[in-house]
Structure 1
Amino acid sequence: MNNRLSGLLFDKDGTLIDFDRTWGPAAHAVMTTLAGGDRARFERLMRVSHYVEAERRFLPTSPLLAGASSVYGPLWAEALDRPAGPDLYGEMDRLFRAAALRTLHPIGAPADLAAALRGAGYTLGIATNDAEASARAQADRLGLTPHLDFIAGYDSGHGAKPGPGMVLAFADRLGVPPHRIALVGDTTADTGAARAAGAVAIAVLSGPSGEGARAVMREEADHVIGSIHDLPALLAEIDGPSAPTGASSR
């Protein structure tokens, strides 16, 4: 039985891009827009989001760290005194997509890494609880799109993580069993999705999760590395000399 990994599925936020530097200022801009100049509404949004305004970042307990807008959207709807539902969530997604492109910060050089991994024979994809349109826009901006065969968001029809849908859809796209797929991510939503699908769970410690969550991830993951740029060395251990031996992290 061939157990060599065939596909690598990457979480996006905290894995490919710096969560705090990208989403911290982006969230401030989105909350400012949605609050419409009403400071009380803005403060309610910050409170339910576990957001620290002075530092432009989220606390590790924030529901936005791994949740789709459909998950934290009801909290925002209540804070804004607006109806919860697709209209509001779609507006939130559009605002976040535009704001995050202005503040996008990759972790190292993900496009260089992706090129090396693809050259070594791995098929690559993204599985994110962000909206698919946002994921595609960021992949374009980062130069990742030419190296990707699959991009799924919470709204792509496969469900959100920690459900297994995105992983199973990727495995189906490749025509391989899930155990030949690895999901690389920084939260328990990622390790949970991998486990639920029967895939390999690789945890990276480059996200904003607190040490408590990281300790849980270490228990749930099959492998733990510092960042995606430690992946070539890990793959050389898992898959042998056919795996890439290095990629620039610049």
Structure 2
Amino acid sequence: MADIKGILFDKDGTLFDFHTSWGRWTLRFLEELAAGNAAKQRVLADALGFDIDKCRFKADSRVIAGTPDDIISDLLPHLPGASREGLLQSINHSTATAEMIEAAPLGPLLRGLLARGLVLGVATNDAEVPALAHLRAAKIEEHFEYVVGFDSGYGAKPAPGMCLGFCQKTGLDPSSVVMVGDSRHDLSAGRAAGMKTAAVLTGVATERDLAPFADVVMPHIGHLPAWLEDQTKQEERVSIAS
């Protein structure tokens, strides 16, 4: 196993807890789209796979690992007169100001990873502008050498373009990078790029869902340093044995 030199994070459900971050935003956004019409709000919620009463996404919702384009495709049939471009602008503007709840204390975690000499990046199926806004609001943008969204020119996950772009940007071999995510899309993208994969359970998917696609499954990214330390010890044991 090659030494780990870089970590590429998904954003929603990985850096930020998915349900607590996006549940409240979705409830407000759908209320605005429905102009206060409760019945219409429920129709829109059903289209997105969102449970209004529990303020949580259902496990099969496309929102979990999808792009804003996917959200628009699900909503447009229920919004007569709305345009794809107008709805995209509305979503990007609204999501940029959504309050993100950290899955673990991010500042200390990321500073500790940088102190190890690791290169950090973010690859999200969100749009790039709101993604940068979320990182900026959390005061962690400066820790990442690479931040891309579905509209940054690398394609969207589960295709490996974002992951390969990180390697092109940093000069790292994919085998020395860990893709960290909360969905099969994240992990499949990492594996297709030749990266190691680490799953976290701060999204919607369960350990059973993610384990077949991951080298390790962790409750949240706060467990990442301990896993990296274990990987280092394994490398040392292999080096001594050889």
TM-score normalised per structure 2: 0.91
Q: Give per-residue Cα distances to partners, 1:115-138, cap 9 Å, x unaligned.
A: 000011001111111111111111
Find the partner of 1:155 among 131, 134, 151.
151
Whether 1:233 aligns to 2:229 is no
User: Partner letter of residue 113 of structure 2?
Assistant: L
Find the aligned partners of 1:121 and 1:110 in 2 and give their Cα distance: 17
Find the aligned partners of 1:171 and 1:145 in 2 and give their Cα distance: 19
Distance 1:50 1:111, change over 3 A: same
Aligned residue number for residue 220 of structure 1: 213
Find the aligned partners of 2:222 and 2:234 in 1 and give their Cα distance: 17
Structure 1 gaps of 5+ residues are: 243-250
Paired residues of 2:42 and 2:52 also in contact (CA < 8 A): no
Aligned residue number for residue 171 of structure 1: 167
Find the aligned partners of 2:233 and 2:156 in 1 and give their Cα distance: 32
Aligned residue number for residue 239 of structure 2: none
Whether 1:85 aligns to 2:78 is no
Aligned residue number for residue 44 of structure 1: 43
Deviation at 1:239, TM superposition (A): 2.8
Equivalenced residue count is 235
Deviates more, 1:230-239 or 1:21-30: 230-239
Residues 1-250 of structure 1 correspond to what in structure 2 (within 5 A)?
Answer: 3-83=2-82, 85-98=84-97, 100-101=98-99, 104-209=100-205, 211=206, 214-240=207-233
Find the aligned partners of 1:81 and 1:112 in 2 and give their Cα distance: 47
Find the aligned partners of 1:216 and 1:84 in 2 and give their Cα distance: 35
Deviation at 1:95, TM superposition (A): 1.6
TM-score normalised per structure 1: 0.88
Deviation at 1:29, TM superposition (A): 1.1
Structure 2 gaps of 5+ residues are: 236-242
Distance 1:83 1:142, change over 3 A: same
> What is the CA RMSD across the aligned residues, in angstroms?
1.8
Equivalent position SS for 2:198: strand
Find the aligned partners of 2:226 and 2:2 in 1 and give their Cα distance: 18
Find the aligned partners of 1:139 and 1:56 in 2 and give their Cα distance: 24
Find the aligned partners of 1:86 and 1:173 in 2 and give their Cα distance: 30
Find the aligned partners of 1:49 and 1:195 in 2 and give their Cα distance: 28
Paired residues of 1:128 and 1:152 also in contact (CA < 8 A): yes
Equivalent position SS for 1:54: coil
Paired residues of 2:132 and 2:147 also in contact (CA < 8 A): yes
